[in-house]
Chain A
Amino acid sequence: MSANPASDLDLYPVAEKAPERVQTPTGKPLSALTLEAVLAGEIGAEDIAITPEALMLQAKIARAAGRETLAANFERAADLVGVPQELILDTYELLRPGRAGNAQQLLDRAALLRRDYGATRVAALIEEAAAVYARRGLFVKRF
């Protein structure tokens, strides 16, 4: 639990109660996302994404609401913000039954995500999968 759950719940909805706590990936405040700015070409697709900071803030709020597993999911999501789409999809593919030939392939992917992207929580999830897949014989190739 957070040290001060009441204050964390008071931050929600962030867009209304604490807009200064979040910004676009390019560092713009919410108030910068106006139609005028879009028409002037000042806002691009890169601006309409969530940041790890926003996800960690939502994780705090979820935890304050007693939703521990949801908070953990938001924290894993924060890990993945900086991971390229292709690598996420490839990791998803690798976690599907029979894609990895052995546990080591999963462990290597976990290590890569931890080393290159600091994705410690996602790495832990993959390592947990590797152990269970081995015990349940999920490294069998599927045709």
Chain B
Amino acid sequence: MTDAPETASPPTGAPQSSNRWRRFAEWDARPLRHDLFAAENPEAGFSVFHSPYDPAPSLSIEGGRVTVMDGKAAADFDILDAFIAAHHIDPAMAEVAMAMDPGEIARKLVDINVPRPELEALARGLTPARLAEVVGRLSALEIAFAYSKMRQRQTPGNQAHVTNAKDDPLQLAADAAVAVALGFDEIETTMRVASNSWANALACTVGAAVGRGGVLFQCSIEEAEELQIGLAGLSSYAETVSVYGTERAFIDGDDTPWSKALLTAAYASRGIKARCTSGAAAELLMGFHEQRSLLYLEARCLCLQRAMGVQGTQNGGIDGAPLTASMAGGVRELMAENLIAVWLGLECASGNDCRTSESEIRVGAKITPYLLAGSDLICSGFGSIKKYDNSFNPSLFNGEEIEDYLLLQRDFQTDGGLTPVEEDQVLGLRVRAVEALAAVMEELGLGSVPRARMMSVVFASGSEETVSYTPGEVTPISAAIKARGLTAIDVVRALGKRGYTEEAENLLLMLRQRISGDYLQTSALVRDGRVMSAINDPNDYRGPGTGYRMPEKRWEAVQGIRNVLTRERVLAAENVVAGAGGAEVDWLVAAGPAAKGVNPHEVVIGVSPGFARQLHQTTAGHALADVVAALVDGIAAGGGTARLVRMMHTADTSFLGLAAARLSGSGFGIGIQAKGTTVLHQADRMPHMNLELFSNAPLTGLDHYRALGRNAARHTFGEAPEPVMVPTHGEALGARFHVRVALLYAIETGLIEPTVHPIELAYRPDMRAPEAAQ
């Protein structure tokens, strides 16, 4: 919660200084208000699903060649049109697909009876403008549903960013090992200082081999360098192959579809998995938007990527996501472009990386459709490190928020690709990772690593806490790796020589995969040493009971978050004596059946069946002996006389209070449950029409109980005292307490004996055991 500035809430009674409802000032102080929101303006490039300047979908084919596409004649094709017409459009399919009603195609996308391959075949005959038009007809919910049906690989996955602000190789290794343990299938790194790329790659390669291994790894840098690092076996995939939706943006980006197609083939020729990157608003940021809508430009990008023959795309705004999210319907557009990507048969690493908002609510909402629908890689990437350590930029989710994400998986029973980790496990992996890297560096003559540096990294949450390498110290190490032509085989050998056999085997496994080229296929990742892709794990969703369902073992793993409360844990923490055998305490002793009192200033306190027998403290943590003392003191202070009675026929607060009132000589009684919920009642009232109620036991303090006792006594004198207010500050009490409350209350209800008469209790505060005092 963010506190509003002082001006927002002047003290009560202060003069009003501005002509404004103060709620607006409070809203102004919320994180959301850091976000910017843009108006629609097609002339300036701000249109989301449709711009008046978008072309109408059209296609003419003569003699097997495209002569007109989306309103443009072949002679006027720009570089994107030309490449798409030559390599994307399937002339035979186009005749069928372009003749089809767009509404009918849209319905097919959400129809569980139309299989994915049929729609993919249709897409090969559709122009960019028609693809955009069709997905534009779907609501956000329909887009998410269609995405779950059209995405390529059945089993969802996720990608992590592993970087740090110092390019510290030790921290990279430790954090890579943690990312692998968390279940990420891909790890992407980049540098603060470009010349540190080889050291970053080596560190992440070693770290990712610790633990389960089998992770695809990328070092994001300029293409020539990235290819070389890949060639050395120190990375296994690339996603820096950016494409843009207008000719001028492409040229401004210093590339063409042909240069990118060559690069794509070059990566495959070196056994490196590649995907392109494109996303809404890139052209807008670059200043060459041609007044077209975001979605239309993105449809062009995606047709181009299929045309180039790349297996997949990093798509969904990416760096342009915050700008897209600033527009009305922008987040829906990001989902729509992802849908076009998978419809075209591309692997989709679906964005959700660049943080689109300072509002945690907008962030959580942004990820939810993807968690529900699944995705090849839900984030591209998820910041596994802290925000300030992310050398790309803070991600939608970051190291700070990993547990929130794990909970979303558990809430919706959905697989977001991550697995909870345990404290001991993580510490062990971090130690192992820094030691393995230190061993490799020594073995390869890259310097010896002081133990103090290693330990400072092991326990550090982020680079601000480490005493380790600085970027300047890393540069010569990186230069040496490159200059000496060190490769992944050298790393395997070094690991093996130093006894890191498991890590050596893990890394070798990834290198062996390179020979077969299996992970070059669509949506490939490596799990448990096996390649899974759209070929051998195709998404076959056809309605309930089909498609991806979490296997029982996986669902168990997803549930393994920290601090799950079991009945045993709650009862142990609450100092509970379970069962009917709860012994009486010496300070509150049964003394026969309770009778109706005659004292006109008597207040009966009716306690619940388990009160001070099985249960001994309120949910606020107050000992019941202290609570009773406070009530009794208060009644005395108000001039009344307290009498205690145990009810066995009910554990309900209202009826405890009502039964107490009916036994009371004054007709006023207090009902209290062991968990602390308390009511002030009167004998002739309806059960739920009480005089006063403490419904929020976790917030109720001893002073409140004392004041309630006093009020009860004053009622017996015919007064109407001001009710006691327990202030609440909007805490989510249900989230904080109800698991405990439900388990505790079950103990009370289990003790109910409907036919047992109320029992008189002798209150003997002097008999209270000293250790029970607070």
Contact = CB atoms under 8 A, between A and B. Distances in A.
Select the residue from A34, A44, A97 with max chain B CB neighbours within 10 A: A97
A66 B536 CA distance: 14
Contacts of B120: 66
Contact of A14 (B233, B261, B516, B534): B516
Interface string A40-63: 000111011111001101100110
Contacts of B48: none
Select the residue from A14, A48, A89, A129 with max chain B CB neighbours within 10 A: A48
A69 interface: yes
Select the residue from B262, B492, B530 with max chain A CB neighbours within 10 A: B262
A92 B57 CA distance: 33
A14 B259 contact: no
A96 B259 contact: yes
Given A14-B518, A30-B516, A72-B309, A48 B489 contact: yes
Interface in B507-562: 508, 511-518, 520-522, 530-531, 533-536
A138 to B, nearest CB: 7
Contacts of B513: 15
Contacts, number: 208
A130 to B, nearest CB: 9
Interface string B255-288: 1101101111111111100000000000000000
A107 B251 CA distance: 21
A65 B534 contact: yes
A35 B491 CA distance: 11
Contacts of B308: 69, 73
B516 A132 contact: no
A66 B345 CA distance: 9
Select the residue from B227, B258, B310 with max chain A CB neighbours within 10 A: B258
Interface string A7-41: 00100111110010011100000100111001100
B87 interface: yes
B258 A126 contact: yes
Interface residues of B, number: 74
Given A15-B513, A15-B516, A70 B311 contact: yes
A67 interface: yes
A89 B227 contact: yes
A98 B166 CA distance: 37
Given A44-B489, A61-B535, A22 B258 contact: no
A78 B265 CA distance: 8
Given A38-B496, A73-B264, A128-B86, A50 B517 contact: yes
B488 interface: yes
Interface in B24-66: none
Given A58-B520, A138-B251, A49 B271 contact: yes
A76 B309 contact: yes
B536 A48 contact: no
Interface string B70-94: 0000000111001100111010000
Contacts of B255: 96-97
Given A61-B535, A66-B117, A73-B264, A50 B514 contact: yes
Nearest to A55: B517
Given A14-B518, A15-B512, A45-B233, A77 B266 contact: yes
A138 B178 CA distance: 47
Q: Is the interface of A mostly helix, strand, loop or mixed?
A: helix
Interface string B216-258: 0000000110011001110000000000000100010011101
A48 B293 CA distance: 45
Select the residue from B78, B224, B535 with max chain A CB neighbours within 10 A: B535
A49 B262 contact: no
Contacts of A136: 78-79, 247
Contacts of B83: 132
Nearest to B524: A13
Given A33-B508, A95-B259, A80 B265 contact: yes
A124 to B, nearest CB: 11
Contacts of B512: 15, 30, 33
A33 B256 CA distance: 39
21 contacts: A13-B518, A15-B518, A30-B512, A35-B508, A38-B493, A48-B511, A54-B515, A55-B520, A69-B88, A69-B307, A73-B268, A78-B269, A80-B265, A81-B269, A83-B269, A85-B231, A89-B224, A95-B258, A122-B262, A128-B86, A138-B256
Closest 10 CB pairs of A and B: A73-B309, A77-B268, A129-B258, A50-B271, A80-B269, A95-B259, A76-B265, A45-B487, A77-B269, A69-B309
Given A61-B535, A96-B259, 18 more contacts: A22-B516, A30-B515, A34-B508, A38-B504, A48-B233, A48-B271, A54-B515, A55-B517, A66-B121, A70-B310, A73-B311, A74-B520, A77-B268, A77-B269, A89-B224, A126-B262, A132-B79, A132-B258
